[in-house]
Structures are given as structure tokens and as C-alpha cells.
Amino acid sequence: MTCASHAVIFLVFSNLAIAMGATPPPLAPYVGKCTSSCEEELNLSLYLHQVVSGAAHNQEVILSPGFANSFGVMAVNDWTMHATNDSTASIIARAKGMHIQATQTQANGYAWFLPFNMVFEDSSFRGSTLQVMGIVNDANGEWAIVGGTGNLSMARGTVKFTTVQSSPNIESYKKIDIHAFYTTQPTV
């Protein structure tokens, strides 16, 4: 019986010694700190070129249910974005998505709901995207940046827009000011 109690005491004390001598995991100093990727800020101004009709149109109506005030009309878009309001300037990015007329009565005007991916083609962000959504119901407004991919991963922020040139039912240019925070990809 003495042997069994000595064995139990030995096990208890040896486990206690191991537990007391154990060091905390090495993660503690890094909690809350940016170690492999850090948040950056993006401030960028571009011009969104929307061409409603004509040979170079960059949107197409895919659903027109015939309701009052064009309610429910849905179009897909592949709008171009340039450094200036000149359609011959290099394309920096494209707004690939759709827009849906979401207001039922004329008294409330129009409200086009826009979810789209801003896909960068020419810059250090080539291949990266910003996910943007919001409403167009006036010449000026603001959309939300709700995500991003590639070099703009986990983006959040706003896109403020101002219509700078418009030919109704033909084309328009909107100056867009992008303000976003994103997480850079770790360098290996």
C-alpha cells in the first residue's frame, strides 16, 4: 500500500512541476498587433463612364417587367473607369455588376440600386477588386465599399460620386472619389 501512495504522490508532484514550469504560448505578445499584414488607406479619384445607348454601350437591360416608374427594370453593366473624363484614356478599372430600379412611384423619383465589383486592370492593384453597393437617386451621392480581394482584401470605405457630364439616355461621366481601408497581403 505504501508503494501505491508513493506512486500517486510522485505523479501529482511531477505533473504539478511540469504545469508550473510550462511557459505560455508565444502568441501572447502578438495579440492585437499587426505582424504579417497591415491595414493601408486608399484615396483615389477616377471617372466612371456609363454609356446607355449606341454602338459603344456598356450596359444592357436584361429585365423590363413593365411596371409603373420602370420599377424592377434590371440591367447589367461593364462601365469603364478612367483617370480623366475622356473615353479614349486608359481604362484603370471596370464596374462589373448590375443596377435595378427600386422605386415604385414617380412621386419618389428614381432610385437605382447598384451592386458591382470594381475590377482593377491597370495599376498596382491589377486583378484586385472592390465590392461596391449603393443607390443612385441624384446627380451626387455615396456608395459603400463592403469588401475587396487581392491587394485590396477586406476593404471597407466609401465611394463619393458627382455627375460631371450627362447626356440623358446616351452617356454620363461620374467623378468618383474612393476612400477605403484594406489589409495588405503579407510578403513572403
**CATH at 115:** 2.40.480.10
Q: Is residue 19 situated within a structural domain? A: no
The Cα-based distances of 94 to 31, 58, 128 in angstroms read 38, 10, 11
Q: Is residue 23 situated within a structural domain? A: no
SS3 content of the chain, % helix, strand, coil (to 5): 15, 50, 35
Q: Is residue 24 situated within a structural domain? A: no
Strand 112-120 to 129-136 pairing = antiparallel
Q: Is residue 25 situated within a structural domain? A: no
pTM for this predicted structure: 0.77
Ordered per-residue pLDDT tens for the chain, 188 residues? 555 565 556 555 555 555 555 554 554 454 555 555 689 999 999 999 999 999 999 999 999 999 999 999 999 999 999 999 999 999 999 999 999 999 998 887 889 999 999 999 987 899 999 999 999 999 899 999 999 999 999 999 999 999 999 998 899 999 999 999 999 866 65
Q: Is residue 60 situated within a structural domain? A: yes
Number of domains in the chain: 1
Q: Is residue 168 situated within a structural domain? A: yes
Range of the domain at 155: 39-183
